Amino acid sequence: MIGVSVFKGVGIGKAFNYEIESIIIPKEMIGEKEIESTLDQLNIAIGNQKTSLEAHMKHVEETIGASESQIFSAHIEILNDPELTSRIRKNIVGQKMNLVAAIDEAKNFYVGMLSALEDLYIRERARDIEDVMEGLLKNILGLSDNPLDTIREDTILFAKDLSPSETIHLNDWVKGIVLSEGSITSHSAIVAKAKGIPTIVGYKESHVLGGTPVILDTITTQLLINPTEIELEHYREKVKEEALHQKCLKQLVNEKAITKDQRSIELFGNVGSAEEALSIVEHGGFGVGLLRTELVYMNSKDWPTEDEQYKTYESIAKNVNGEVIIRTLDIGGDKTLPYFTFPKEENPFLGLRAIRFCLKNKDIFKTQLRAILRLSASYPVKIMFPMIGSLEELIEARKCLDEAKKSLKVDNQAYNEDIPVGIMIEIPSAVFAIDLLSDHVDFVSIGTNDLCQYTLAVDRLNPEVAYLYDAFNISIIRMIDHVVRGCKPKGVKVGICGEMASDVEAAKILVGLGVDELSVSPSMIPYVKEVIISSNYEDLKVHAQRIIKR
């Protein structure tokens, strides 16, 4: 295994090593008389960059898809961010920095802040800021924004990372991408998937010389260097087979995830934005199984208001054809906010985070609950509390929800009185208290990422111990089985919203255990749907029990 597969397929071509063009930042200070003209230059540069991004967005919408085009809508919003532009202006006015240096400092500040977080999804948003700001710098300095457009032969592209802008302009000669950094949740990965380019991230093997013939197999995560003619012929056939497979997957878009013996599974997507919600529909999903609301807070310069939250949640809900499960604020741990000082903790992942933070800050919590409740008047919304560890926490959270409902009644605001309420099962204590917790909820969703980390005592992002992180560990499988058995007799539905659900082999086990819903990365919906449709539920039950009893 050479890395993590982003888009499964086979690419054949010559190695092309791409190194990001360095931008030389001038350090000269400006004089008092130059401040006004420098601010004017900033406004012009931002306007030009917006025009460029709008052209990107239109091109992507016409050639790839509406959901992918929204990546560049998000990039335009970054340019419109008053906090970011304010920092640049302060650098110019207060620090007398030249325009390029002022932008570079602001870029480094925000990229550094987000990159320090452990949450992979949020770290990838730092790459978006970097992409936008570097595009702005290149615009000002007159540098080429697309050095990869010279590729004119079948190519496997090797790079440290790619920006969304670079990825979107890759031509049809690029048959595969190998990145040493990046992740499956990055916007570059989303674009690569949409373009159908076999892609691997996390490649740590030896350097491949440019021009060397290679075969990239992202299905089995193999890289063949200087392949033989026999190997080339074999993989050329695989390329044809995979092209046919992709056509078959597209035909499943409107099909529901129902096994051969009629066991129906709700297949949803994990999202943090309106663009990803669109992607769920395009890939054949029927709802949002996890809406990460912390991104609304992290992208704001202050605590988002009730109306701001309502508008954001609505922009997501209107893009899907089914229910939307909204996870309440999961902040703390590695997820910090620029406008709030968290207490210093020896181990923040075991400290004041998620529901614990909300119950300590009930005004903030109730503002969010009111926004979600208002949305429930028009959309099939569910509320999900994260990191519940005890019955007492759940009861207190539900009390806050009742108080939010009462306040809306006083304000004559409509909401769904019977809005379904659920919890995340991601702490071992919640697994073994499921008989108590299930009496107070309509559904549960197992967050396998944190459940694995807390159960196995493994930081999956720490390369020294990451090999110990294993969602297939028998203890994790048995925990999921325990939760299902505790919920089924009471009619409480069980879902999975961790990365485990995106693995087709894991999906077989999960369905066999009796899980009702799988929420996965939107791009993985067709693959998971395919394995469900082609399976018999009774066979999967036998398979799952064989694993549990081994």
Buried b (16+ CB within 10 A) or exposed e, 406-441: eebeeeeeebbeebbbbbbbbbeebbebbeebbeeb
- Residue of 366, 430, 418, 431 lying closest to 394 (CA atoms): 430
* Total Cβ atoms within 10 A of residue 241: 12
Specify whether the CB–CB gap between 9 and 241 falls below 8 A. no
Q: Residue written as tokens 């009644």?
A: 409
Single out the catalytic residue among 187, 283, 400, 452.
187
Annotated catalytic residue 169:
no
Helix intervals (H) in 283-386: 294-298, 306-317, 355-360, 362-375
Q: Report d(CA 155, CA 235) in Å as an integer.
A: 15
Q: Which residues contact 404 (CB under 8 A, 6 or more apart)?
A: 366, 369, 370, 373
Specify whether the CB–CB gap between 238 and 220 falls below 8 A. no
The residues facing 223 across adjacent strands are 216
Buried b (16+ CB within 10 A) or exposed e, 298-328: bbbeebbebeebbebbbebbebbebbbbbbb
Residue 115 burial class via C-beta count within 10 angstroms: exposed 0-12, middle 13-18, buried 19 and up? middle
Provide the token pair at 526: 């067709």
> Binding residue per annotation — 398?
no
Q: Report d(CA 543, CA 511) in Å as an integer.
A: 10
> Binding residue per annotation — 393?
no
Provide the token pair at 550: 């081994």
> Binding residue per annotation — 449?
yes
Q: Is 170 helix (H, G, I), strand (E, B) or coil?
A: coil
DSSP string, 261-278: T--B-EEEEEESSHHHHH
| 276, amino acid identity | E
Annotated catalytic residue 187:
yes
> Binding residue per annotation — 226?
no
The residues facing 179 across adjacent strands are 159, 201
* Total Cβ atoms within 10 A of residue 109: 15
Q: Which residues contact 524 (CB under 8 A, 6 or more apart)?
A: 502
> Binding residue per annotation — 327?
yes
Single out the catalytic residue among 358, 452, 487, 497.
497
> Binding residue per annotation — 462?
no
Q: Report d(CA 387, CA 177) in Å as an integer.
A: 37
- Binding-site members for phosphoenolpyruvate are 292, 327, 449-450, 460
Instruction: List, by residue number, the catalytic residues.
Output: 187, 497
- Binding-site members for Mg(2+) are 426, 450
- Binding-site members are 292, 327, 426, 449-450, 460
